[in-house]
Amino acid sequence: MQIDTMIHIGDWLFLLEGAGVTIALCLQAMFFGILIGLIVGVARTAKTRVIELPATAYITIIRGTPLLMQLFIIYYCLPLFGINMPKFLSAALGLSFYTGAYVGEIIKAGLQSVDVGQREAARSLGMVPWQEFRYVVLPQALRVIIPPTFGFLIALVKDSSLVSIIGYVELTRASKLVVARTFRPFTLYLAAAVLYFVLCYGLSRFDVKYLRKKFSASLTGT
């Protein structure tokens, strides 16, 4: 029997499909992660202990343990307690909570960077707390929040390769599978790396070209 070491068009498509899964996985982790981050970030700045403490505990635990362990716990340990979920959900959940902790801490720092005088001015004009937050604090905090958040999200795209460990087929796992059949590690891993690069580069261009321009306008006054 002969081993087919050719890389077929189907293999390339399989790789691209993996990249698509990575994108989907990251997009949802970004969406839910930022949502969680917003909640715990605001909770971290709360003066009430009962609100602040759980948020702090969550951030400390997630940031203090490897993502790999978090994925293992969700995928292997939760079923022991009768909680079973599909691989995509395990992977998505793990990455979302992971993102939430880091983004939460960035958001907290961003909110605290806004001078207390800004809040007082808003309040003295009769604004209610949510108006003060939405129209005065948040827009100014975003300027501080966006750059490190994108730094984290770019790292997240690469970290998402870890979910291949629990057998979920995304870009890294897809390339491994094709390598296993074709014995062409160099070509395939290089291709996978190029695909990761394209994703990360796109993300950083979006940040620099679009978001930073949008939110720094008032700083430079243009």
Partner 1 sequence: MIEAREVQKFFGSLHVLRGISLSVQKSEVLVVIGPSGSGKSTLLRCINGLEAINGGEIFVEGAKVDPHSRDVHKLREHVGFIFQRFNLFGHLTALENITLAPRLVKKMSNTEANEVGLRWLTQVGLSDKAKTYPAQLSGGQQQRVAIARAMAMSPRALLMDEITSALDPELVNEVLEVVTLLARQGMTMIVVTHEMGFARNVATRVVLMDEGKIVEAGLPSDIFDNPRQERTKAFLNKVLTH
Integer angstrom CA distances of residue 10 from 164, 197, 215: 20, 22, 43
Residue 135 CB, shortest distance to partner 1, in Å, is 6
Q: Of residues 64, 82, 86, 221, which one binds partner 1 by CB under 8 A?
A: 221
Pick the stretch among 12-20, 93-101, 111-119, 190-198 that binds partner 1 (CB under 8 A). Answer: 111-119
Is 219 a binder of partner 1 (CB under 8 A)? yes
Is 194 a binder of partner 1 (CB under 8 A)? no
- Give residues with Cβ within 8 angstroms of 69, minimum separation 6: none
Compose the 131-150 pattern: x for residues touching partner 1 by CB under 8 A, - for all others: x---xx--xx--x-------
Is 126 a binder of partner 1 (CB under 8 A)? yes
**Contact by Cβ (8 Å): 118, 161:** no
Is 121 a binder of partner 1 (CB under 8 A)? yes
Classify residue 186 by burial, with Cβ atoms within 10 Å: 0-12, 13-18, 19+: exposed
Burial 53-85 (b: 16+ CB within 10 A, else e): eebbebbeebeeeebeebbeebbeeeeeeeeee
Q: Of residues 48, 80, 124, 186, which one binds partner 1 by CB under 8 A?
A: 124
| Number of shown-chain residues binding partner 1 (CB under 8 A) | 21
Measured from the CB atom, the residue of 39 and 138 that comes closer to partner 1 is 138
Count CA atoms closer than 13 A to 123's CA, side-chain side. Answer: 6
Measured from the CB atom, the residue of 24 and 219 that comes closer to partner 1 is 219
Residues that bind partner 1 (CB under 8 A): 115, 117-118, 120-128, 131, 135-136, 139-140, 143, 218-219, 221
